[in-house]
Amino acid sequence: MRRTEVITGLFEEYDAFAALLASLTGEEWRTPTRCAGWQVRHVAGHVVGTAVDTMTGRIGTRTPDEQARAFHDETPAALAGRLREAAARLRPFFEGLGEDDWAAPSPVAGRTIGNGILTLWYDTFVHADDVRTALGRDSARGPGLRGSLHWVGDELERLGWGPARLALDGLDERSIGTGGPVLRGDPMRFLLVATGRADPGEFGLDASVNVHSLR
């Protein structure tokens, strides 16, 4: 994906996530999610904590659980404000990155700066879906889904999964390795399968497709 597309997508996703948080009631804030042991407030704390750690140059120094615990006692409005502040400070820095910067190693081992920013976009999108699903709201689609699937494809390739060809509805086809089965169907469902959130049998796969278990 183009550098400008990823940066624009990330900050649109941050705006949408902040608006989602600001809309929540106290009861919704404590709703359990499909992320084991996490309520909505923990999911929010992780996403906001990741943005804050990126802004302060501390990305990778706290686990997701540590980020969730650091912020879960704050109100939805307060966390929405924290995310907007972090995004406002990150945006000019990200927009100033050139092609050489994009390809340079990030503070997180094994990732480039560009892949790290794409990871932020994916993480925000998929966790927003965790929140919406917990609250019985419809999933979002659009650029965030495409960006997240691009990240998943890169991650499956990086981790040596495959071979397979992704031919998901409405998206360009992508090969991971050479040969293998052709996987067709709903891209949102594949995103959930590839991140351990849905049954891999939907695509005739097993649990090895889960990028989070492959690491």
Q: What angle do CA 84, 86, 91 make, to 5 degrees?
A: 95
Residue 213: the pLDDT is 84
CB atoms under 10 Å from CB of 171, counted, come to 15
* Domains of the chain, first to last: 3-140 (1.20.120.450), 144-214 (3.30.1050.40)
Determine the average pLDDT of the residues in 6-14.
98
Q: pLDDT (tens digit, 9 = 90+) per residue, 123-137?
A: 999 999 999 999 999
Residue 2 pLDDT > 80 = yes
Res 109: pLDDT: 81
Q: Whole-model pTM?
A: 0.96
Please tell me the predicted confidence (pLDDT) of residue 78: 97
Three-state SS annotation for 128-191:
HHHHHHHCCCCCCCHHHHHHHHHHHHHHHHHCCCCCEEEEECCCCCEEECCCCCEEEECHHHHH
Asked if residue 214 has pLDDT above 80, the reply is no
Banded model confidence at residue 9, pLDDT cuts 50, 70, 90: very high
